[in-house]
Amino acid sequence: MKRIQRIIFTAGYFLLLLFLVLLNPLRIREIIPLKDRLRIHPFTDSLNDLTHLHGSHWPVHAFYFLTNLFVNIILFIPFSFIAIIMFRMHRFVSVVLLACLLSVMIEVIQYCTGLGVADAYEVILNTAGAAIGFYLCKRYLNRQ
């Protein structure tokens, strides 16, 4: 029974990830122009979004900045649990590197399809989320 629950959790996580980063109706509705699809200056681009208002008030920009920050970290925490519990990956470097590669793949797909912006900052945040998830999972497993 536990194995089936784990498989359902794993499939659900990857389907949710796919939906959020590619199939989200907000992304499908509007294809991003090629010139706006790439952001390679991790912290500068995000801080510029926060300081240079584009038709809205600063609190709105701050909300989007913080949402982007925390969602990208939280989104990859379960990845580490799946890697450790389902795939028996117990090396920190392996789990974090795999998460980083998955994040890069997502960003490349977003760039190629125009269904998002390929952002180096998001790769860093996703990888940080996997690192946090690794330590949380190890701590959880050590308590059992």
**Which pLDDT tens digit goes with each residue over 63-79?**
878 888 899 999 999 99
Question: H or E element: which one contains 2?
Answer: helix 2-18
Q: Is 39 helix (H, G, I), strand (E, B) or coil?
A: strand
Q: What is the mean pLDDT of residues 86-101?
A: 97
Give me the pLDDT at residue 54, please: 62
> Percent of the chain beyond pLDDT 70?
93
61 pLDDT higher than 80: no
pTM of the model: 0.89
Give me the pLDDT at residue 62, please: 78
Residue 10's Cβ-side half-sphere holds a number of Cα atoms within 13 Å equal to 14
Give Cβ neighbours of residue 77 (< 8 Å, ≥ 6 apart): 129, 130, 132, 133, 136
Give me the pLDDT at residue 141, please: 94
